[in-house]
Amino acid sequence: MAEPKTKYDRQLRIWGEQGQTALEKASICLLNCGPTGSETLKNLVLGGVGSITVIDGSKVEPGDLGNNFMVDESSVGKSKAKCVCQFLQELNDAVKAKFIEEYPEVLIETNPSFFSQFTLVVATQLGESSMVKLDRICREANVILIFARSYGLTGLSVSEHTVIESKPEHFLDDLRLNNPWLELKRYAETIDLDVSDPVAHKHTPYVLILVKMAEEWAKNHDGKLPSTREEKKEFKELIKARMTALDEDNYKEAIEASFKVFTPRGISSDLQQVIGDSCVEIDSSSSDFWVMVAALKEFIENEGGGEAPLEGSIPDMTSSTEHYISLQKLYQAKAEADYLVIEQRVRTTLKKIGRDPNSISKTTIKSFCKNARKLKVCRYRLVEDEFNSPTVPELQKYLTDEDYSVASMFYVLLRAVDRFAANYNSFPGQFDGLMDEDISRLKTTAVGLLNDVGCNGVTLTEDLINEMCRFGAAELHAVAAFIGGIASQEVIKLITRQFVPLSGTFVFNGIDHKSQLLSL
């Protein structure tokens, strides 16, 4: 293995060493290795996941050569799982690649405990009844599950898991200008905003300008910060009045950032929800994540004074080098202090529930603290629940909305083709010659499905029903590569835990690309 750091350079710049380590520890199981599954794994093998296990019971047919890059002429008649696995191994020898020649449906039926060994299962081209069963199995075993399906010019991708902790990027910086701590206030006191040296005046960072101006304001307003529209306007005018020259970028930045002073104190509603979750009542079976949330909750209620731990970094801003570096140190010191308190609380908590107090590493706690403000918990419905009782008003709304109608009709039709297949042992339009019959059968099936879930009075367009039969369950390479690409990206998000995974069902619309995310 040559220079993994160089090889992974372009992705390390996105998810860092920590994300890469998480990927390298992950074991991924793929069900069915047609093009959708093969393409999903290809992207993950390139990125360096720990291990893959390919499960497929079929043999390679000539037709597979037309849509799957991982098989070639010499593969015809051989195990598809074996051929695909072999090619994938070629892409990255750091990945442990295994295959099992077996139909996923059989494994789901006969050996459910098999799946508990994996970090994540990607199930492709799986019918409705197997999806429902697999979802239950994976939830029980706490294994993340992703469904991906390509079907003609449509398809879908769904992730299933009980709880996902996510940390969205692109969050507003954490400057605490609405609630500065003691050391920051003290530092601001050493600054004279009306310094006569013009160079010093135009290099006072906006953070300090705002801290001082907010303090002044509060003094004249019973300790309160600007809140009404007039007050906010007045506050900005006051900042403007302190400018001594037109080219003072630092004051312009202060006016632009003044909203950071107006933002209400305390934690976001998302975070409120996280610390109010019933999982915060921890016991010896709680996951590391919830142990840390419990510590976070205590911190917010005690030392934090209603605030989450400080993130510790500041954005670039117009400033003298000296002020900027002093500020950087102040923020870092506060973040470190907050972290130490939380670490202590985590250790105590672990001890209390009978675990090794050092069983959660410093790095993990540090990263948790850095992202604490952004925590979000997504809970997913059981596939079975969504299938049997989708949120009907939502579905009805989607089906009649101009932007959503095609994607949501595809969703209904994708479910209808599975019912169709269960009834007639083939997919609509799978074979030539039965087209007209299949079209009317599919229509009846889809209408029946809508009635069963209680969604009445919506009609699916004839054009789309025809189109679905025309697709005849074809797995087109380009569509499979798209859906597989999305599935692999979701895998990466779920494993690195640095980004927000999609919630709901992503329905691909390959006709005009007006794809949609549905939550039902």
Partner 1 sequence: MAPPSTAEDSRSRDLDKLLLRAGNLVGPTFEPGPGLRDDLKEYARVLVVGAGGLGCELLKDLALSGFRELEVIDMDRIEVSNLNRQFLFRLEDVGKPKAEVAAKRVMERVSGVNIVPHFCRIEDKELEFYSDFSIIVLGLDSIEARSYINSVACSFLEYNSDDSPQEETIKPMVDGGTEGFQGHARVIMPGVTPCFECTIWLFPPQVKFPLCTLAETPRTAAHCIEYAHLIKWDEVHSGKAFDPDDPEHMKWVYDEATKRAELFGIPGVTYSLTQGVVKNIIPAIASTNAIISAACALETLKIASGCSKTLSNYLTYNGAAGLHTKVTEFVRDKDCIECGPGVLVQLDTSITLQEFIDLLEEHPKLLLSKASISHRGKNLYMQAPPVLEEMTRSNLSVPLFELMGKVAKDVVHASGTTTKNDKKTSCLRKLRVIFEGVDGITDMDTAGEA
Compute the distance between CA of residue 214 and CA of residue 210 in angstroms, rounded to an integer: 6
Residues 235 and 229: their CA atoms lie apart, in Å, by: 10
63 lies in the binding site for partner 1 (CB under 8 A)? yes
Residues 339-368 that bind partner 1 (CB under 8 A): none
CB 404 within 8 A of CB 410: no
- In the region spanning residues 426 to 455, those forming contacts with partner 1, defined by CB under 8 A, are 429, 432-433, 435
10 Å CB burial of residue 223 (0-12, 13-18, 19+) is exposed
| Chain residues 14-53 in contact with partner 1, contact rule CB under 8 A | 14, 35, 39, 42-43, 46-48
| Cα 340 to Cα 331: distance, rounded to the nearest angstrom | 14
| Using rule CB under 8 A, residue 12 touches partner 1 | yes
C-beta closer to partner 1: residue 197 or 316: 316
Q: Find the binder of partner 1 among 197, 222, 316, 436 (CB under 8 A).
A: 316
- Does 319 sit near partner 1 (CB under 8 A)? yes
Question: What's the CA gap between 39 and 33, in Å, rounded?
Answer: 9
For position 309 contacting partner 1 by CB under 8 A, the verdict is no
Paired sense of beta strands 505-509 and 376-379, if any: unpaired
Q: In whole angstroms, how close is the CB of 152 to partner 1 at the nearest point?
A: 7
Contacts (CB under 8 A) with partner 1, residues 146-205 = 152-153, 168-170, 203
DSSP class per residue in 151-217: ETTEEEEEEE-SEEEE--SSPPP---TTS--HHHHHHHHT--TT-S-HHHHTTS-HHHHHHHHHHHH
Give min distance, CB of 437 to partner 1, in A: 15
Between 178 and 328, CB nearer to partner 1: 328
Q: Does 3 bind partner 1 (CB under 8 A)?
A: yes
- Binding mask 383-402 vs partner 1 (x if CB under 8 A, - otherwise)? --------------------
10 Å Cβ neighbour count for 396? 18
89 interacts with partner 1 by CB under 8 A: no
Taking CA 59 as the corner, what is the angle to CA 57 and CA 62, rounded to the nearest 5 degrees?
Answer: 145
The reply on whether position 482 binds partner 1 by CB under 8 A is yes
Contact call for residue 492 and partner 1 (CB under 8 A): yes
91: contact with partner 1 by CB under 8 A? yes
Binding piece for partner 1, criterion CB under 8 A, among 3-11, 189-197, 273-281, 285-293: 3-11
Residues 207-236 interacting with partner 1 (rule: CB under 8 A):
none
**Ranges within 459-478 binding partner 1 (CB under 8 A):** 462-464, 466-467, 470-472, 474-478
394 CB burial (10 A radius; 0-12, 13-18, 19+): middle
Task: Give the span between the Cα atoms of 333 and 336, in whole angstroms.
Answer: 5
Residue 137 dihedral angles phi and psi, to the nearest 5°: -60, -50
Asked if residue 11 binds partner 1 (CB under 8 A), the reply is: yes
